[in-house]
């Protein structure tokens, strides 16, 4: 029997994304959860003061895996591994039933300082206040930021309001020397990048 091994970042993201998007059968879900449980049990260095037993619920297991993924991302240069942050944001926002606006705050070397949920809204909209975003970014001593919000409708296409807000935030943060690297719109298992679309 093969030795159980710690899951790589890519394996962990792939398992979690497949579980989150629901593109699997009940049998393959059981197999993926088993792989997750085994891999996380081996990776006890990043699960301090917690035991992961075979009786751990599926939701608790997925929540724990997401926390591990977040810890790993905090040590990553986001420009060297942009897919890691994008996948993390997809996992964080995909299942939300109301709009949520988050900011990933980065240091001067583009390493993640924290991921903050700044605003929560309704099924179709969230009010975002640039002044509050600037305050949070300054308090964290951030050098750059990545924004993300979700569309519970399942359509990842940005609205005109999304584009205007992104430009307002970019302008406000530029006044205090903080760069906006990207803004993602997450809808289900999909995500759209403002940077890739040339909207920044």
CB-CB contact of 37 with 52 (8 Å): yes
Q: Quote the domain boundaries for residue 20.
A: 9-73
Q: φ and ψ at 170, to 5 degrees?
A: -60, -45
pLDDT in tens, the chain (200 residues): 344 557 776 777 777 766 666 666 667 777 777 776 766 655 545 544 454 455 556 677 777 777 777 776 666 666 666 677 888 888 788 778 888 999 999 999 888 888 899 988 776 667 888 999 999 999 999 999 999 999 988 888 998 999 999 999 999 999 999 999 999 999 877 889 999 999 88
**Pair 121, 189 in one domain:** yes
Q: What b/e sequence results for 65-75 when a residue is b if at least 16 CB atoms lie within 10 Å of its CB, and e otherwise?
A: bbebbeebbee
**Pair 182, 100 in one domain:** yes
User: Is there a domain that residue 105 lies in?
Assistant: yes
CB-count exposure of residue 176 (10 Å: 0-12, 13-18, 19+): exposed
**Pair 177, 106 in one domain:** yes
Among 38, 73, 108, which residue terminates a domain?
73
**Pair 97, 182 in one domain:** yes
Supply 195's token pair: 């940077």
pLDDT of residue 21: 60
User: Please, which residues bridge with residue 193 across strands?
Assistant: 184
**Pair 106, 192 in one domain:** yes
C-alpha distances in Å from residue 124, one per residue of 83, 151, 162, 188: 27, 7, 12, 14
pLDDT of residue 2: 46
**Pair 105, 31 in one domain:** no
Among 54, 73, 92, which residue terminates a domain?
73
CB-CB contact of 85 with 119 (8 Å): no
**Pair 87, 154 in one domain:** yes
- Give tens-digit pLDDT for 101-121: 999 999 998 888 888 999 887
Into how many domains does the chain fold? 2
**Pair 93, 55 in one domain:** no
């Amino acid at each position: 029997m093969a030795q159980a091994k710690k899951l790589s970042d890519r394996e962990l993201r792939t398992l979690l994304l497949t579980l989150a998007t629901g593109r699997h059968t009940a049998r393959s879900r059981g197999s993926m959860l088993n792989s997750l449980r085994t891999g996380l049990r081996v990776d006890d260095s990043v699960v301090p003061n917690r035991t992961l037993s075979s009786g751990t619920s599926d939701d608790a297991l997925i929540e724990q895996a997401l926390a591990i993924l977040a810890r790993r991302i905090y040590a990553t240069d986001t420009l060297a591994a942009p897919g890691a942050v994008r996948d993390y944001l997809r996992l964080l926002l995909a299942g939300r039933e109301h709009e949520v606006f988050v900011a990933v705050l980065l240091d001067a070397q583009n390493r993640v300082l924290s991921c903050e949920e700044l605003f929560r809204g309704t099924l179709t909209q969230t009010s975002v206040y640039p002044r509050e975003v600037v305050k949070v970014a300054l308090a964290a001593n951030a050098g750059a930021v990545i924004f993300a919000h979700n569309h519970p409708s399942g359509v990842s296409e940005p609205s005109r309001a999304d584009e205007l807000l992104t430009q307002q935030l970019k302008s406000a943060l530029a006044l205090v020397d903080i760069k906006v690297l990207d803004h993602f719109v997450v809808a289900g298992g999909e995500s759209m990048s403002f940077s890739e679309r040339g909207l920044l």
